[in-house]
Amino acid sequence: MLLRPSAHDLKFIAHDLGRILAVVALAGLLPLGWALARREWAPASHVLVMIGFCILAAGAAQLIDPGRRTKVDWSHGLVVVALTWLVVPAVATIPLYLSGHYGSWIDSYFDAMSGVTTTGLAVIEDLDHLSDAANMWRHTIQFLGGQGIVLAALTFFSASGALSLYQAEGRDDRIFPSVGSTARFIWLVSIVHLIFGVTALTIDGVIGQGFTFDRSLFHALAVFMAAFDTGGFSPQSTSIAYYHSALYEVIIAVLMVAGAMSFGLHHAIWTKRRGLVRNLEVRTLAITMGITIVVTLIGLTAIYADPSGLVRRGLFQVVSAHTGTGFATVSSAELSRWSGLAFAGMAVAMALGGMSSSTAGGVKSLRIGLTVRALIDTVKAALLPEHTVMPANYTQYGRQRLDARLAQSVMTVSLLYVGLYLFGAAVGIANGYGLQESLFESVSAAAAVGLSVGVTSPAMPLIMKLTMIFQMWIGRLEFIAAFALAGFVWSTVAGE
Amino acid sequence: MLRGRITRGSFSGGARGLLIEIGAVLTLILFAAIIALAVTGLT
């Protein structure tokens, strides 16, 4: 029997969403400040409209008195998170749509969803003439989404049920006993990388590329936010190829790798924890990254004859794909010519993704490692004599037990990702695109990567835009929160 | 106490993390270069 949500439940959801909108208003101060500094008055007014809307909505939500929170269960956290990831892009759309660079509201919502989910696919028109402030907002929402919108809110507001909200956003790590301390550590890691990344990119921009300081700083900030949070938006339409700098690409690669690492791993490294080489997730990511690099490079020998071009283009694209970033140093047209093994290597790299509790998308290395481990255990069990007792353990910051329930949950989510990839590809094929390009674009959207072979464009059919918006949303939420929201909506209709 | 521990360990911890990440990328470049030389040499 389904229980119909009470007015009390709805008030709490509105209350929590209001606090999250307050954080979006706060994030809007960065592009607003940039716009005022650069005297971009129209973009500044667009950002102000959004900030004003957020403050009004947040204020109205805080006026609702939900009463004393008696019990916070998992479903509440899941529903709030699922709604957050629908509502925030809708609000973040305001400055984007008002910029006049989008053909329709759906197009701007597509880019906002792509931003918060750190995907990086874009249907913006004439990106190269977008104002700096609007560009900064695109990258800010990627940073906000990558860090975790709810995590950002929990940094500023205490909430009972914080753990349920934190974990519902797809984070498994509890680095410290409290969510607040864990959130502070996540921000600390991000700030350290921000200082390193922005300084290094700015210096290379000024010295290596002849940018003025403020222009170099703008690009460095934007690229940092998209690289560390594995987003993939770029200030220019030619993505990272715009810079023509090998050093710039290496710095970005370091930031992409850092972004694909779980914050648990960052903490283990910072605190000199031993045994990281035996860590299942680290091993899995190293192995899959190695295999996809080899496969892609072999496939690319047909296109790039010289080894240096092969390494520079092939490696950057695979690292970008595997970390779920989506930066490119080749054009979409050139990427669409990567067929055979190169296509296979790239598609698999995108589908697998980075580490769990990182900013990357995809199935995630831990799930891949556990699936392979469970498969090996099953084969062993079939070959060994009956009644043989086998230990089913794996190493992940200490010895962990791989029981049947964990294996089942891991395989279910992995299978759902495969289904989501195939669903998007089927929609692409139904709309007249080829199998290879449909599959590439579908995996890119669902695994929050952002690489494109040219399918994603303002001219794309509406049904494809809606499908990819859905894929980005549900892929980022790792399914469970989205299912909880569907169950919540159904219970309001059919519950008793 | 917890906050103090983070602050004290943050400088060396952050530097160690960055060095490992830079090392990982340089290893990947070396690995890719070896693979590229091998496959272009063979084909």
At A192-211, the pLDDT tens digits run 999 999 999 999 999 999 99
The reply to whether A274 touches chain B by the CB within 8 Å rule is no
Structure confidence at residue A461 as a pLDDT band (50, 70, 90): very high
Report the residue of chain B nearest A272, measured CA to CA: B13
pLDDT, chain A, mean: 90
Q: Which of A6-15, A148-157, A367-376, B20-29 has the lowest mean pLDDT?
A: A148-157
Q: What are the φ/ψ torsions at residue A174 (nearest 5 degrees)?
A: -120, 85
pLDDT in tens, A354-401: 998 888 889 999 999 999 998 988 898 888 887 777 777 888 777 888
Q: What are phi and psi of A18, to 5 degrees?
A: -60, -45
Alpha-carbon distance A294 to nearest alpha carbon in chain B (angstroms): 7
Is residue A23 domain-resident? Answer: yes
**SS3 label, residue A478:** coil
Question: For A336-434, where are the alpha helices, taking DSSP H only?
Answer: 341-352, 365-383, 404-430
Output A463 or A180, whichever has higher pLDDT.
Answer: A463
Chain A residues closer than 8 Å to B43 by CB: 301
The CA distance from A301 to A310, in Å, is 7
Residue A161's pLDDT is: 64
Given an 8 Å threshold on Cβ–Cβ distance, is B35 in contact with A254? Answer: no
For chain B positions 1-43, those within 8 Å of chain A (CB to CB) are 2-3, 6, 9-10, 13-14, 16-18, 20-22, 24-25, 28-29, 31-33, 35-37, 39-40, 43
Q: How far is the alpha carbon of B2 from chain A, nearest alpha carbon, in Å?
A: 8
In the 8-state DSSP scheme, what is residue A4?
Answer: P
Instruction: Confirm whether A386 is domain-assigned.
Output: no
Rg (CA), chain A: 22
The vertex-A485 CA angle with A481 and A487, nearest 5°, equals 115
Q: How far apart, in whole angstroms, are the C-alpha atoms of residue A428 and residue A451?
A: 16
Measured in angstroms, the CA of A247 and the nearest CA of chain B are apart by 12
Domain assignment present for A339? no
The region of weakest confidence among A60-74, A84-98, A299-313, A452-466 is A60-74
Per the structure, the count of domains in chain A is 1
DSSP one-letter string for A239-306 = GGGGG--HHHHHHHHHHHHHHHS-HHHHHHHHTT-S-GGG-HHHHHHHHHHHHHHHHHHHHHTTT--S
The larger pLDDT score, comparing residue B42 to residue A245, is at A245
CB nearest A185 (choices: B6, B28, B36): B6
* Banded pLDDT at A68 (limits 50, 70, 90): low
Q: Does residue A135 form part of some domain?
A: yes
Q: Is A322 helix (H, G, I), strand (E, B) or coil?
A: helix
Residue A327 covered by a domain: no
For the cut 90, the answer to whether the pLDDT of residue A404 exceeds it is no
Is A303 an interface residue toward B (CB < 8 Å)? no
Contact by Cβ (8 Å): A121, A326:
yes
Helix (H, G, I), strand (E, B), or coil: what is residue A394? strand
The pLDDT of residue A28 is: 96
* Cross-chain CB nearest to A188 (options B10, B18, B37): B10
pLDDT at B3: 46
The verdict on residue A343 lying in a domain is: no
Residue A259 in domain: no
pLDDT of residue A65: 66
Per CB-CB distance under 8 Å, the chain B contacts of A192 are: 10, 14, 17-18
In chain A, residues 184-243 whose CB comes closer than 8 Å to chain B: 184-185, 188-189, 192-193, 196
Closest chain B residue to A303, measured at CA: B40
What global pTM score does this model have? 0.92
Coil, strand or helix at A328? coil
Q: How far apart are CA B18 and CA A45, in angstroms?
A: 39
pLDDT beyond 90 at A243: yes
Q: Which of A195, A297, A308 is the best substitution to test chain B (most B C-beta atoms within 10 A)?
A: A297
Which domain covers residue A10, as residue numbers?
1-170+463-496
Q: Which of B3, B14, B36 sits opposite A297 (nearest CB)?
A: B36
**pLDDT band at A158; cut points 50, 70, 90:** low
